[in-house]
Amino acid sequence: MRYTIYGAVALSVVVLGLAAAFPWLKLPLILALCYGLAALGIVVLLRAGQISFGHAMYACIAGYVVAYLSQRFPHLDGFALIGLGTLASLVAGMLIGAFVVRYREIFFGMLNLALSMVLFTLLGKFYAYTGGTGGTDGLRVGRPTLLGVELARNGFETALLVLVLVCSLLVIWGVQRYFRSSAGEALMAMKSNEMRLEYLGISAKKLLWQGYVLSAGLCGLSGALFGLSQGLVTPEMGYWLRSGEFVFIAILGGSGHAVGAFVGALLYEFLKMYAAVLVSGAWQLLLGATLIVIIYFLPSGLTGLLRKRRAALGGEQ
């Protein structure tokens, strides 16, 4: 609990401080927090020892739902859009989850990848409805009202930043509660030995399904917020590279604590901003190489350092 409060306070101070000092950083900060939300979804699965290479599809689903609704019903409030987008991802996660939780490790990861590829190709094929691949010609998302208040661009961004931050803090608190609950602890036990878990009378499938739906919802929330802040959704939101980025952030942050994903996401976003200037053509290369280096030296991520320190202090808490 103590770490949750420290983490939450530090995160809000850093985000709000940076946004106040450098107003042009607002959008990157929003995007970083969105990435953090999605990466937290991956972290949930990571705790169960599973990895998904296709979770960007949930962000993509939510993004498209938001875009559609905002075009069809221009007067819908921003909160309603976010809620409905996330709900769509949750429902998709429930359905797809019921199928994929029967598989573990490689099958689990690759099935998710396959499904996200199907979604990506379909979105690209039916470009008449979806805007197709190509970056510039996706679906536009209008700027909605927030709780009935109409805002100009700058004010909207500030409001969105606060909204994303509040969402993130609530999610950190909630997910950390989940990790500490009996279901969350059992999910962790799945990683070490699933068989024993079943002997204890706990259904591993059901447990993983819960985790999967949670992670799909988190990615959906991230996608809905992402779509709103960008004002544009494209099929690239569901490309495997995006899923790879989520996995990267999750590994960087580590699965020790829910704050880790957000710290990882902030680091990642700034790394990306500088790398885009320095080595524009070799972004994937840098990402892949860093991933391997992290796995080699820091297999439990940044939050793994925290746990090491806690162990060194004599296991208080």
- What are the residues binding other proteins (CB under 8 A)? 46, 49-51, 53, 99, 102-103, 105-107, 109-111, 113-115, 117-118, 121-122, 125, 193, 195-196, 240, 244, 247, 251, 281-285, 287-289, 291-292, 295-296, 299
Residue number with CB closer to other proteins (71 or 284): 284
Query: Do 129 and 70 touch, CB atoms closer than 8 A?
Result: no
Residue number with CB closer to other proteins (125 or 308): 125
List beta partners, residue 139.
233
CA 163, 65, 91 angle in degrees (round to 5)?
90
10 Å Cβ neighbour count for 206?
Answer: 11
Cβ-in-10-Å burial (0-12, 13-18, 19+) of 259 comes to buried
10 Å Cβ neighbour count for 169?
Answer: 20
Minimum CB separation from other proteins for residue 218, in Å?
19
Minimum CB separation from other proteins for residue 19, in Å?
31
Minimum CB separation from other proteins for residue 86, in Å?
26
> Three-state SS for 139?
strand
Minimum CB separation from other proteins for residue 177, in Å?
25
Q: Among all chains, which residue has been given the structure tokens 């969350």?
A: 184
Residue number with CB closer to other proteins (143 or 191): 191
Q: Distance between CA atoms of 35 and 28, rounded to whole angstroms?
A: 10
> Three-state SS for 232?
strand
Minimum CB separation from other proteins for residue 164, in Å?
27
Residue number with CB closer to other proteins (30 or 251): 251
Residue number with CB closer to other proteins (156 or 246): 246
Residue number with CB closer to other proteins (11 or 57): 57
> Three-state SS for 146?
strand
Minimum CB separation from other proteins for residue 239, in Å?
9
